[in-house]
Structure 1
Amino acid sequence: MDNKETLLRKYAKLAVKTGINIQKDQTLVVMSPIECAPFTRMISEVAYEEGAKEVVIHWNDELSAKVKYMKASDEIFDIFPDWQKESQLYYAKQGAAFLSISASDPELMKEVDPMRIARFQKARQIALKEFNQRLMSNKNAWSIVSIPTAAWSSKVFSGVSQEEAIEKLWEAIFKIVRVDKEDPVEAWNIHKNNLKEKMDFLNSNNFKALHFKNSKGTDLIVELPENHLWVGGAEYTSEGVEFIANMPTEEVFSLPKKTGVNGVVVSSKPLNYGGNLIDNFELTFKDGRIVDFKAEQGYDTLKHLIETDEGSHYLGEVALVPYDSPISNSGIIFYNTLYDENASCHFAIGRAYSLCLKDGDNMSEEELEKAGANSSLAHVDFMIGTSDLSILGMTKEGKEVQIFKNGNWAF
């Protein structure tokens, strides 16, 4: 295997060239934890070498955020500064690309009052609504990658020294994002084509509904709206620039009909939300709406998430991921949604992606709602895939097609 420095350079290049697909004279905005500074600087260097006009870095420090949550005046959690909102929108309107490095400590905020976190999340989501809508409708290229931090690595590999935990997590990440291959860019091209085959099959069948069932207790029927589209692998900006929003990605996804979800779904992996873990939880749906929920861990955090707004009582995404996939086969629970959602079929509470509807990117909020898409400030993925998950597709003609059997694609 290549040495660490060579692998890091390959990873930075993959994120910039394949993830973001930086264009000549384009601005790149990077959102990075301060712990990831050396890799973020490497990203910056690669981006300039690939023709970026400017690289703007927005640093975040979750330890300082925790101090604020524990000590600050209560009213501050209902405020999100205008300058931060304007900064994001300014670069978005200039056509910038946005790269996020996701590497938070999954349990850092467990002593914090979940209501404070929920209030700040809501204030932030309200302020960044226009910005998030731009990204969710692919007006700008965007991508998310992860690198190990000490706290995250120690949570994933709890039985070893911190140094060993970091090395083990690097090793897992390099393998999963195909950086260990001689030519990672070509390996991703092959992977994109495999996802496209699944996407084309689902789109050609134009299913009316999907029935999810497993032994954990999931028994859920998800209707799909007229003119829904399945998307996976590569996506395209409104200017036609290809990018990959999640690295890694193993999913093919669409949107449920807002009022067409009925039954019970049970989580299969912990959800790291706002520095708190929600685990072993169950949601009950009637006519699309969450009418009951329970959780063994993180009940209050789940409650605040569901109560973000009216739309967060509904689903906005349905995503299919085979159980027999690189992340799942690693046997590792990452406590990081970017990785765990790509090891498992999942849903998202909240906003739907307009690109999952035919001509959805040209529709107003009202038109999207009328077409069956959910609108919300929130969009939070949670994992439901298992080794015995069955998914039946139901066509408009009443025919049933086995899509997943024993957790994997059945075709």
Structure 2
Amino acid sequence: MNIDESLLKKYAAVMVLYALNNGKGINKGDTVFLVGQECSKDLYIAVAKEIYAAGGNVITNYLPDNIRTQSLTRYLLQHGNDEQLSFFANSYWQGIVDAIDHILFIIAEPDIHVFEGLPSSKISMMNSARAPYMAMREKKEQAGKLSWTLCLYGTQSMADEAGLTLEEYWEQIIEACYLREDDPVTKWKQVQREIETIKDKLDALAIEKLHVKGDDVDLEILIGKHRKWLSGGGKNIPSFEIFTSPDWRGTNGSIQFNQPLYYSGKRIAGVSLQFENGVVVASSATENEDALKEMIAQENADKVGEFSLTDKRHSRITRFMATTLFDENMGGAFGNTHIALGNAYKDTFAGDMSVVTDAQWAEMGYNSCPKVHTDIVSTANRIVTATVADGSEKIIYRNGMFVL
């Protein structure tokens, strides 16, 4: 499928002039680490040209397509030893992080089941080896010197997984990213202002804890001290969610998810979790349960790092897309609620995060898990009730919409 050149140019403009730099776009002289596979070549080149046009610099990470018959990663997983699977070029990746101002990832899966049939333990070992890179990025981001963003390039494999034609799949991308607007950059800034109005109202409530209730959920979440709510602010395109990183120690109850997730190339469906004092004490899945348990077995991946809500009035996403970037922002009849197991977003701290020590993060209940941050989504109808500082309760979300 050939994507219209004008749509690609608009897509690139959204990513470079809005998404990067936390919704402000890049500055002249900024350096962008651009990551994508060869199947996304037309968008990759459009983005690179937009960066250059804006006065920026590009460090390319242009990768061969990861497909079963030719995948170097699959070959390594099949034939590599533990030392090779755990290899991490520390100096190289530290140099990359030191040299860049922004990271732009183009998500494209030419073979969504590329790791099918491989042991989850080996995939986890390989993924865990990149934890130092994530820590390098996080440190620079906390200092306010690094931004990142993600966007999606539709492939036939992803469309097949979602049960859509490739044309239908791209139609969701085009609509969700406002690419038919005359000026999608201005449109995104308008939407961001609307979402931030809701976020500001949540912050003003000074919420202490949440109770999420529905046919498939009865879950309490402790928000914790010194927290604020965030919206995507350019970090994901599209992004309509409003989220925070709660105090993981106060998560109790059960929750089920009606949307699949993808972890290490495997589809995990029918997930159910039971929490006691912040820790997953029981987990199950109707599909690839071994992969779910392997993920949760990673250090601190059995704790919540994020809680999020999406208002259906903003999101134009109406179909399952088989990728977290879109599925965690789904609108539809009831919006969506989701949590992420694993690493917390420290920029939800209502203060200067650059001066907070690791011990202080732990004292506040921010989960530390550089190896995992996995969103698990449900589009079922939920009512979310907040308990505020004076002990009173207020419903903040029902029927897929904020009620503030």
Name the structure 2 match of 1:15. Answer: 15
d(CA) in 2 for partners of 1:315 and 1:81?
27
Show the 5 A alignment for 1:193-342: 193-215=193-215, 217-234=216-233, 244-309=234-299, 311-328=300-317, 330=318, 332-342=319-329
Judged with a 3 Å threshold, the aligned counterparts in structure 2 of structure 1 residues 54 and 393 are, in CA distance, closer, same or farther, namely: same
Report the secondary structure of 2:198's partner residue.
helix
Please report how far the alpha carbon of residue 74 of structure 1 lies from its aligned counterpart in structure 2 after TM superposition. Answer: 3.2
d(CA) in 2 for partners of 1:270 and 1:304?
16
Is 1:53–2:57 an aligned residue pair?
A: yes
d(CA) in 1 for partners of 2:36 and 2:63?
5
1:66·1:108 contact (CA, 8 Å) conserved in 2? Answer: no
- Could you say what the CA RMSD is over the residues aligned between the two structures, in angstroms? 1.9
**Which stretch shows the higher mean deviation, 333-342 or 88-97?**
88-97
2:74·2:114 contact (CA, 8 Å) conserved in 1? Answer: no
d(CA) in 2 for partners of 1:77 and 1:303?
24
Report the secondary structure of 1:42's partner residue.
helix
Unaligned runs of 5+ in 1: 159-164, 235-243
Name the structure 2 match of 1:192. Answer: 192
Report the secondary structure of 2:284's partner residue.
strand
Is 1:401–2:394 an aligned residue pair?
A: yes
Q: Amino acid of the residue matched to residue 353 of structure 1?
A: Y
Q: Amino acid of the residue matched to residue 46 of structure 1?
A: E
d(CA) in 1 for partners of 2:286 and 2:55?
50
Is 1:25–2:29 an aligned residue pair?
A: yes
2:13·2:185 contact (CA, 8 Å) conserved in 1? Answer: no
Instruction: Using structure 1 for the length normalisation, give the TM-score.
Output: 0.89
Report the secondary structure of 1:98's partner residue.
strand
1:103·1:336 contact (CA, 8 Å) conserved in 2? Answer: no
Judged with a 3 Å threshold, the aligned counterparts in structure 2 of structure 1 residues 397 and 77 are, in CA distance, closer, same or farther, namely: farther
Is 1:74–2:68 an aligned residue pair?
A: no
Name the structure 1 match of 2:48. Answer: 44
Is 1:129–2:135 an aligned residue pair?
A: yes
Report the secondary structure of 2:60's partner residue.
strand
1:27·1:56 contact (CA, 8 Å) conserved in 2? Answer: no
Please report how far the alpha carbon of residue 108 of structure 1 lies from its aligned counterpart in structure 2 after TM superposition. Answer: 2.6
d(CA) in 1 for partners of 2:321 and 2:139?
28
d(CA) in 2 for partners of 1:182 and 1:250?
20
Judged with a 3 Å threshold, the aligned counterparts in structure 2 of structure 1 residues 254 and 67 are, in CA distance, closer, same or farther, namely: closer
Show the 5 A alignment for 1:21-170: 21-59=25-63, 61-63=65-67, 64-65=71-72, 67-69=74-76, 71-76=78-83, 78-82=85-89, 85-104=90-109, 105-135=111-141, 139-157=145-163, 165-170=165-170
Instruction: Using structure 2 for the length normalisation, give the TM-score.
Output: 0.91
d(CA) in 2 for partners of 1:137 and 1:385?
35
Report the secondary structure of 2:283's partner residue.
strand
Name the structure 2 match of 1:240. Answer: none
Matched residues, number: 387
Q: Amino acid of the residue matched to residue 101 of structure 1?
A: I
Name the structure 1 match of 2:333. Answer: none
Unaligned runs of 5+ in 2: 331-335
Q: Amino acid of the residue matched to residue 117 of structure 1?
A: I
d(CA) in 1 for partners of 2:143 and 2:217?
30
Q: Amino acid of the residue matched to residue 346 of structure 1?
A: H
Please report how far the alpha carbon of residue 113 of structure 1 lies from its aligned counterpart in structure 2 after TM superposition. Answer: 1.6
Please report how far the alpha carbon of residue 35 of structure 1 lies from its aligned counterpart in structure 2 after TM superposition. Answer: 1.1
Is 1:381–2:386 an aligned residue pair?
A: no
